[in-house]
Amino acid sequence: MKSITLFLCLFTYFSASAQESCMTVENIKALDAQWEEKNLNPDPEFFKRVLADDFVWVHNHASMIDTKTSTVKRAEKQAANEGSDTRSRIQSEVKVAITGNTAIVTGFTIVDRGPTPTRYHFMRTYVEVNGTCFLTGNHTMAIPEGE
């Protein structure tokens, strides 16, 4: 009888754990805020852990396209030089839309690298795989001053 009770307790615990999802608005917003913070204060291990293997980042007018490898390498270089040249990154108007195991995050980020800050619109795509959320795509577009 004790072994059946133990089995049922373990089954219930693991079933509940398996049902937990990273795909909630709160979790995705927190993960996206970490993305911004780790771009300000480079942490290569964060990028290795969070970026999908086929991650793609399309920058302003496709002026540059990054992969997981290039993003991690840039973070490693910046970390070795004790940081990036970015003074601040401030998000606003962040919205999350979730469909199934996919979240689309949109909003604005003001990036200050001097001499004046630049406002970007972004759209990022997160996908949940086996209970873990990965960033698979990022598109950023600078907004001209006055718009």
Q: Find the helix or strand (DSSP H, E) in which 95 lies.
A: strand 88-99
Q: Does a structural domain hold residue 11?
A: no
Highest mean pLDDT among 11-20, 39-48, 74-83: 39-48
70: domain CATH number is 3.10.450.50
Query: Which residues touch 32 (CB under 8 Å, ≥6 apart)?
Result: 91, 94, 96, 105, 124, 126
pLDDT given at position 147 = 62
Percent of the chain's residues with pLDDT above 70 = 86
pLDDT tens by residue, 93-131: 999 999 999 999 999 999 999 898 999 999 999 999 999
Q: Does a structural domain hold residue 1?
A: no
Q: Does a structural domain hold residue 98?
A: yes
How many domains is the chain built from? Answer: 1
What are 141's two structure tokens? 């577009």
Amino acid, res. 5: T
- Tokens 């754990």 correspond to what residue? 17
For 108, the domain range is 21-142
Predicted structure pTM score: 0.83
Average pLDDT, the chain: 88
